[in-house]
């Protein structure tokens, strides 16, 4: 009985060893065709100026943009899926590569992109609350990688009240410089109680051709901040809170530096904010008829 038991045990061990060797050969390892632990694909956000890479607050229905860099692992890339709190994002809310790529979700990877690709995705935000947007890359072996960020819907933005162009603040009165009533807006005298800013006039110690100081200052209780955001775009500002944010994040000054074309300022008077850009500076060396041209955006009653 002992010899028979020994034979059966030996036979069992041989069968187990052969099965193990066969499994390694099929799945990788000892003579197999691939690794036991294949390298998964890789995905990351690209940190560029017009795309987000972290949790962000947007307005309901606003479009936000992500840019993705995708690289293969040991197997060809297969698909990219975009989900919001686990649900597929409707293709009607997606735009790929500014319209140059057909929208799919999941997006099926083909051609040379099976090795690597970058993609721009514009997404129309949901209506309220916070949702997690996930971007999942999968390869032909079923290996995956993903990146995610939270999008929070902020309060409904109020549009700016009005935009005015070619508003002139001139120095035609010599030592009595011009001013602007930004509420109307209109040019007024430097002594007007309605003005929020005024020109500093001329330097009498300088020659006529050089005597214009070319600085403005806030008056009658108004304050002024230089816009320090180098990405700020006058034309792109459409909401009141954007104007206030430019003021809050700006450099509050008692007077401007010597003005130059495209300078941006925000003037605050109580709860009213005014975004100004210098469009032109007209110099007249033979007299004191010099003047500025401003564009103005008004944002009244901003809390």
Q: How does pLDDT run across 53-67, given as a tens digit for each residue?
A: 999 998 877 899 999
Q: Are 199 and 284 in the same domain?
A: yes
Determine, yes or no, domain membership for 13: no
CB 256, CB 217: distance < 8 Å: yes
Question: Which is it for the CA torsion 240, 244, 249, 252, positive or negative?
Answer: positive
Residue 171's pLDDT band, with cuts at 50, 70 and 90, is low
Residues 88, 141: one domain? yes
pLDDT of residue 7: 45
pLDDT on residue 174: 47
Measured in whole angstroms, how far is the alpha carbon of residue 54 from the centre of its chain?
11
Domain boundary pick from 153, 173, 193: 153
User: 12 in a domain, yes or no?
Assistant: no
pTM over 0.75: no
Domain that holds residue 53: 42-153
Radius of gyration from C-alpha coordinates of the chain:
33
Position 287 scores a pLDDT of 76
For 187-199, b/e burial (b = at least 16 CB within 10 A) is bbebebeebbbbb
**292 and 166, same domain (yes or no):** yes
Q: Are residues 117 and 186 in the same domain?
A: no
DSSP lists the bridge partners of residue 84 as: 87, 133
pLDDT score of 26? 41
Domain count, the chain: 2
Question: Which residue among 90, 122, 153 closes a domain?
Answer: 153
Inter-CA distances, 259 with 199, 226, 236, 264, 267, Å: 11, 11, 22, 10, 15
Q: Is 70 exceeded by the pLDDT of residue 172? A: no
User: CA-to-CA distance for 203 and 187, rounded, in angstroms?
Assistant: 21
């Amino acid at each position: 009985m002992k010899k028979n038991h020994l034979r059966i045990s030996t036979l069992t061990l041989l069968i187990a060893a052969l099965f193990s060797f066969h499994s390694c050969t099929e799945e990788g390892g000892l003579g197999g065709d691939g690794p036991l632990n294949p390298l998964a694909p890789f995905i990351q956000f690209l940190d560029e100026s017009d795309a987000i890479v972290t949790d962000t607050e947007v307005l309901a229905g606003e479009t936000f943009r992500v840019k993705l860099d995708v690289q293969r692992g040991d197997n060809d890339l297969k698909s990219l899926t975009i989900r919001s709190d686990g649900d597929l994002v409707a293709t009607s809310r997606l735009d790929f590569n500014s319209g140059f790529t057909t929208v799919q979700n999941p997006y099926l990877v083909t051609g040379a992109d099976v090795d690597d690709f970058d993609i721009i995705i514009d997404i129309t935000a949901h209506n309220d609350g916070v949702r997690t947007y996930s971007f999942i890359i999968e390869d032909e072996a079923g290996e995956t990688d993903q990146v995610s960020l939270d999008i929070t819907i902020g309060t409904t933005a109020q549009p700016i009240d009005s935009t005015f162009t070619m508003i002139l603040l001139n120095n035609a009165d010599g030592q009595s410089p011009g001013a602007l009533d930004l509420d109307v807006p209109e040019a007024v005298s430097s002594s007007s109680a309605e003005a929020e800013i005024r020109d500093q006039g001329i330097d009498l110690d300088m020659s006529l051709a050089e005597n214009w100081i070319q600085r403005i200052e806030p008056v009658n209780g108004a304050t002024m901040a230089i816009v320090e955001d180098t990405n700020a775009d006058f034309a792109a500002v459409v909401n009141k809170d954007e104007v206030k944010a430019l003021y809050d994040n700006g450099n509050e000054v008692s007077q401007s530096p010597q003005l130059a074309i495209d300078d941006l300022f925000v003037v605050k008077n109580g709860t009213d904010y005014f975004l100004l850009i210098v469009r032109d500076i007209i110099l007249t060396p033979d007299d004191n008829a010099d003047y500025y041209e401003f564009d103005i955006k008004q944002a009244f009653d901003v809390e």
